[in-house]
Structure 1
């Protein structure tokens, strides 16, 4: 009994301790309760942090993929843009600029002539030497013509004889006419006398003509100036044998006379510019002997024909030379102002391409190139005149590549304004 009671008491004591323990367990301090709650929620917080970290990683991965794809797209676009060749374009100027055409010219006196003798003889005396200014009618030289003088004396004597014969024949004819009225002579005899008178009169006229001819030849003993001018050459001296005319076997030009108050300048215009040099225009003359001196002249006439050999148009420019600025025979330069041609265009020289098809330009339209053939006019150096093939609205590629072909895509980076015409 005692052992069982001890066992029961022990169990009872254990149960009481258990109840006290439960009571102590149920009564928990407030800070311990809070700590317990935080301890209970810790696994959920770690889960939230993990989820957030995963989201951040996924966002970073997504952004990296997006950035890489965006960069690749941008790179592809940039590569595509860079593969299109960039070009600079300009436009043609309407019309062609006026220019200056400089050509060599030859100076001639407005009037000049060689002076020959019209009679045979010996030079007795000359009065003017080279460089002398003479007036029309001035005596230049005297020629001795003894043969002509003797022929003139003989011809005058012959004239007197013929006049005497004619006078006698006239008197005889009158007498026969009187006798014919009295029927003392026949009509035949009267007519014969009349015929003799007419023949004698004709011989008188012929003799007078011969005397007149010899007198004219005698007058040619005096060499006079046909117009006012300057003696530019003297090719004779006292005692020289003079042959008549310029068509003899040994003609001799006695003097050369030139009117230098007005000069003619001749220039050969190339056929290309022949239509742009007009009568009535102005030309400027320069010469190496005085480079700073500019002489103005007028274009008065041209030959109206192209020389078959040189393919040039002969043009005459008249110069007022009263100040003796030019000399006959001088080598000068003639400067012609060429007006711009209507209906044409002017483009920079570096817009042209030269292919087997001829001269071409690259025209940009809708970012595509089209090669157009052109017809070239005058070349001004940095610019070229175009007669046909383009319009003022065409965008011309500056410095086009030799490999450029029609249909190629290009990228216009800038547009250069056309230069103004001068």
Structure 2
């Protein structure tokens, strides 16, 4: 029977995956409003910064709305001035009416019978009417102020829509496609996809993404910030990177978890579409007891066991395993250094069976991965 000796080893769980570089961001830049392209300032390959003007649209309807809104603000302001003047007149009339009523009332009180009661009532009525007119004038001013506020809002809305006629870059990047030319009719981006045409396609190249399909068996070991080695074949070079983010769930169709690595590309030497080989360093154990993978039956189940040979007899031992690499296993319990375990197929073996042992061929190598 081929056997291997339980011994110390340094185990590393390294996963090698291939991935394709993709832009960090890649979008079709749409227009918020419909209009004709008056001027387009970029072409394929143009490098732009966030906020740079990509194109300017001609939108006569919005220009008309701006003029109307501006006129509306002026008219509303004039109404406010008129209402304020009306309040001043109403206050003057109210003051005169109140003084007249107060004087005639005082005379009628001091010299009874001198002033007819009807004149006192008329003066009181005029005083009350003046107060009501003042309240009405104040209400008219409030209405004028509300109209002014509405006019200001409409003017601001028209101004905001006018700003949308200038299409700017949302981030630093390179124009990878130009859809429109001078004079092209651009539909608003909120229209149906069959009608709306983008202006340009913009990609962010200073940072690229690598999306790695990590197998479900290794997904639990993935952590943010883990170091990775990115190997590029053309031209040959190696880049040190880190895991930036991962999906946190496994896709049922592929049994893999999307994991992303951000790779700096300030010099632009990396291009989207290039392939890279990525080495994920998921786990490492130094100086741990280990055996070959095929020395343990029932891996991943509640019953893991190994077949140990002692004094020429087979003993079935329950074991607990830890880190697993492509060739070896970490043994947490059940075995001790120097034990001989049967490797390969264990069919037909039973407790107490006598066997003759020989060293497994790969045991000529040092027990490490």
Fold equivalence (TM over 0.5): yes
Higher mean alpha-carbon deviation, 265-274 vs 197-206, is at 265-274
Aligned partner of residue 97 in structure 1, secondary structure: strand
Give the Cα separation in 2 of the matches to 1:283 and 1:405: 45
Equivalent of 1:195, from 139, 151, 164?
Answer: 139
Q: Which residue pairs with 1:123 in the alignment?
A: 37
The corresponding residue for 1:143 is: 57
Distance 1:256 1:122, change over 3 A: same
Alignment partner for residue 209 of structure 1, among 147, 153, 170? 153
Quote the residue 1:152 is aligned against: 66
Superposition map of 1:21-420 within 5 A:
87=1, 89-94=3-8, 97-183=11-97, 185-246=129-190, 250-287=195-232, 290=234, 292-307=236-251, 310-328=254-272, 330-341=274-285, 345-349=289-293, 351=295, 360-372=305-317, 380-384=325-329, 389-398=334-343, 402-411=347-356, 419-420=366-367
In the alignment, which residue of structure 1 is the partner of 2:116? Answer: none
- Cα deviations across residues 225-253 of structure 1 (Å, max 9, x unaligned)? 23322112222222222222345563332
Q: Which has the higher contact order (CA 8 A, sep 6+)?
A: 2
Question: What is the RMSD computed on CA atoms of the aligned residues?
Answer: 3.4
Task: Tell me by how many angstroms 1:168 deviates.
Answer: 1.0
d(CA) in 2 for partners of 1:205 and 1:324?
51
Q: Is the CA contact (8 Å cut-off) linking 1:343 and 1:387 kept in structure 2?
A: no
3-state DSSP class of the match of 1:105?
strand
Per mean C-alpha deviation after superposition, the further-off stretch among 131-140 and 359-368 is 359-368
Deviations 1:104-153 (A, max 9, x none): 33433334443221222111221111211112332211110011111211
SS at match of 2:219: helix
Q: Name the counterpart of 1:49.
A: none
- Distance, in Å, in 2 between the alignment partners of 1:237 and 1:136 is 21
1:226 & 1:211 partners in 2: Cα distance? 25
Distance 2:208 2:138 in 1: 63
Deviation at 1:320?
Answer: 1.5
Aligned positions, number: 334
Match of 2:368 in 1: 421
Correspondence for 2:108:
none
More helix by share: 1
8 Å Cα contact 1:93/1:421 also seen in 2: no
**Structure 2, unaligned runs of 5 or more:** 98-126
> How far apart are 1:387 and its partner, in Å?
6.4
TM-score by length of 1: 0.68
TM-score, normalization by structure 2 = 0.77
2:88 alignment partner, SS class:
helix
Name the CA distance, whole Å, in 2 between partners of 1:179 and 1:205.
29
Rg (Cα) greater in structure:
1
In the alignment, the residues of structure 2 paired with residue 348 and residue 291 of structure 1 have an alpha-carbon distance, to the nearest angstrom, of: 38
CA 173–329 in structure 1, closer or farther in 2 if over 3 Å, else same: farther
